[in-house]
């Protein structure tokens, strides 16, 4: 896949495809006063890692996504993901040939590897802990998504300038955008559960944000009941309705909306701190705005 980086003043309209996230380093670089072409390598490496992480995540979660089927099944998908991880590493090595950037290539490369390690630890916890507490859910979300999207924005800004206010601002913007994506991802799983026509429940309800929240706040008797409902394996309408009613009564929906709003506001505030006004900044604002739930 060819990455199309934003040219000129960054006044492009972000697409709705997942490859739009590959524009994050370029847009943050441009909003920081740099040329987006400086980010070709980091954008490519980040996007390769993004696809690889998605494939591994889908296999480990046993998601029945089209990409896995098209690649020939879970085994083949893991092979492809390994190839993508190594390809990203090879692309990052080419940074050593660059001499026009504000940051040492080795620092950028180390940042990438450290972030991937953090992501991997988050994924490990996600698949090994049967039920996540609310605190654990946020820790996993920060490790898997917040840190990775923060990296995309931070490395773009670092290639353009060494102003710590700007770098922190874009890094924080990326973090909150990643957290919003993780919340949406979780809510999408609930949608999959509710709209499934299959007899088997297709998602692990025990690791969802809504359930983690409800188990944090409900009285003990209700917690036991909810835990039983999360273990249902047959998609019986009556059980599904009881499960959703319990979540609604606990305020799980309001909590998720409030957290989405909180991360949106914090992401926008970070963006304003880093970049009060620029066409590229406007596009970054549009990218986070489209994730809102209303």
Partner 1 sequence: MALAQVVYQISTDKDFASRMQADPQGALTERGWSLSKEEIAFLLSTLRSNAERSEIRRIVKPLLWYGWR
Q: Which residues of 44-78 are buried (b: 16+ CB within 10 A; e: fewer)?
A: bbbbbbbbbbbbbbbbebeeeeeebeebeebeebb
User: Is 254 a binder of partner 1 (CB under 8 A)?
Assistant: yes
In contact, 57 and 123? CB cutoff 8 Å: yes
State the maximum Cα–Cα separation within the chain, in Å, rounded to a whole number: 64
Site string for partner 1, 257-276 (x = CB under 8 A): xxx-xx--xx----------
76, 125, 127, 184: which one contacts partner 1 (CB under 8 A)?
A: 184
The CB-of-193 to partner 1 minimum distance in angstroms stands at 9
Which residue, 7 or 135, is less far from partner 1 as judged by CB? 135
Tell me how far apart the alpha carbons of residues 51 and 58 are, in angstroms, rounded to a whole number: 10
70, 117, 165, 293: which one contacts partner 1 (CB under 8 A)?
A: 293
- Check residue 72 and report its DSSP letter: T
Q: Choose the stretch contacting partner 1; rule: CB under 8 A; options: 34-42, 53-61, 97-105, 157-165.
A: 53-61
User: Is 250 a binder of partner 1 (CB under 8 A)?
Assistant: yes
In contact, 226 and 214? CB cutoff 8 Å: yes
Give the residues across from 234 on adjacent strands: 200
134, 239, 268, 285: which one contacts partner 1 (CB under 8 A)?
A: 134
Give the three-state DSSP class for 135.
helix
Q: How many residues bind partner 1 (CB under 8 A)?
A: 47
Tell me how far apart the alpha carbons of residues 37 and 196 are, in angstroms, rounded to a whole number: 44
User: Is 284 a binder of partner 1 (CB under 8 A)?
Assistant: no
In contact, 31 and 278? CB cutoff 8 Å: yes
The CB-of-55 to partner 1 minimum distance in angstroms stands at 10
Give the three-state DSSP class for 205.
helix
Q: Choose the stretch contacting partner 1; rule: CB under 8 A; options: 70-78, 84-92, 244-252, 272-280.
A: 244-252
Which residue, 139 or 161, is less far from partner 1 as judged by CB? 139
Footprint on this chain of partner 1 (rule: CB under 8 A): 16, 18, 50, 53-54, 57, 65, 67, 134-135, 145, 181-182, 184-185, 187-188, 190-191, 194, 210, 213, 216-218, 244, 247-259, 261-262, 265-266, 290-291, 293-294
């Amino acid at each position: 896949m060819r990455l199309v980086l934003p040219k000129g003043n960054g006044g492009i309209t972000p697409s709705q495809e997942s490859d739009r996230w590959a524009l994050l380093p370029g847009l943050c670089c441009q909003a920081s006063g740099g040329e987006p072409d400086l980010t070709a390598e980091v954008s490519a490496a980040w996007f390769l890692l993004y696809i690889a992480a998605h494939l591994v995540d889908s296999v480990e979660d046993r998601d029945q996504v089209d990409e896995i089927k098209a690649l020939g099944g879970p085994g083949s998908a893991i092979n492809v993901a390994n190839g993508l991880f190594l390809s990203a590493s090879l692309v990052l090595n080419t940074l050593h040939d660059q001499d026009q950037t504000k940051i040492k290539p080795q620092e950028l490369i180390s940042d990438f590897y450290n972030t991937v390690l953090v992501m991997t630890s988050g994924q490990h916890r996600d698949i090994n802990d049967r039920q996540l507490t609310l605190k654990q859910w946020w820790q996993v979300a920060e490790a898997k998504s917040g840190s990775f999207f923060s990296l995309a924005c931070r490395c773009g800004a670092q290639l353009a300038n060494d102003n710590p206010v700007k770098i922190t601002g874009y890094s924080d913007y990326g973090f909150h955008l990643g957290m919003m994506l993780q919340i949406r991802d979780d809510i999408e799983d609930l949608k999959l559960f509710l709209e499934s026509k299959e007899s088997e429940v297709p998602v692990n309800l025990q690791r969802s944000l809504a359930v983690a929240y409800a188990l944090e706040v409900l009285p003990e008797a209700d917690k036991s009941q909810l835990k039983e409902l999360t273990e249902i394996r047959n998609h019986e309408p009556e059980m599904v309705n009881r499960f959703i009613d319990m979540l609604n009564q606990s305020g799980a929906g309001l909590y998720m909306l409030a957290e989405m709003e909180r991360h949106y506001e914090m992401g926008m505030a970070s963006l304003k701190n880093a970049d009060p006004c620029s066409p590229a900044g406007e596009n970054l604002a549009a990218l986070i705005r489209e994730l809102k739930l209303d």
